[in-house]
Amino acid sequence: MNFGGSEQSELPADIAAVCRQESVWAQTPTSLWSGVARSLEASNDLGPNVTVLTERQTGDHRKTRPARRWLALAAAVAAPVALGAGVGYQMAAQGPPHDIAFRLTGTDLQPGSAAEGTLRKTPSGLEIVLDVSGLQPAPADSYYQGWLKGKDAAVTIGTFHARGGGEDIVLWSGVEDTSVYDTLTVTVQRVDGGPASSGRVVLKGSLKSS
């Protein structure tokens, strides 16, 4: 089949390249159909309602016009391309996740500490990642706890002990509306001190853009 002139200009390059291959348009060997039919008839996996077509019955299918074969080939090649383009368009339309970058500084309890942080909205809630430096590991009977705070609200975002060193600290919260929180703090808590904030803040920073 000839793919020159106007026909070639209407095809994407990858489809046209496949269609130029002689093997695509080669006649199916008669022995192939006979062998497939014999294998299917001998199989024990076929159900009672399955009929194996003989070579005579499949003769018309082998004489399918090249145009029909070309259309089937073009559809098979174009389908994954179209699917990939659709997925890419959807991802581009959604855009990257909205991140809020912030910085925490140490208080008098931990004056040499600091942290660079990122707050990101995810389908599971808020992901807060802290890259902490200079923060001493929590004592054996204590731990650190993160808090989102606003004018009229405060919510915990998880706990950690910073005893591993060198790894980012990932905290989570089910909060959806971050607009009511303008501050992130980290307190040091005693294991037997209860769930309320101890008020002993070691890191603190604003979530509002300067």
Q: Return d(Cα 108, Cα 203) in angstroms, integer.
A: 9
Number of domains in the chain: 2
What is the average per-residue pLDDT within 143-150?
96
CATH number of the domain bearing residue 130 = 2.60.40
User: pLDDT for 98-128, tens place per residue?
Assistant: 788 999 999 999 999 999 999 999 988 899 9
Q: Return d(Cα 121, Cα 129) in angstroms, integer.
A: 12
What is the average per-residue pLDDT within 162-190?
91
Question: Distances from the Cα of 61 to the Cαs of 27, 82, 88, 199, in angstroms?
Answer: 11, 28, 38, 81
Residues 103 and 194 reside in one and the same domain: yes
What is the average per-residue pLDDT within 65-69?
55
Residue 10: the pLDDT is 63
Domain residue limits at 38: 5-94
pTM over 0.85: no
Residues 150 and 176 reside in one and the same domain: yes
Cα-to-chain-centroid distance, residue 205:
31
Comparing 51 with 158, the larger pLDDT belongs to 158
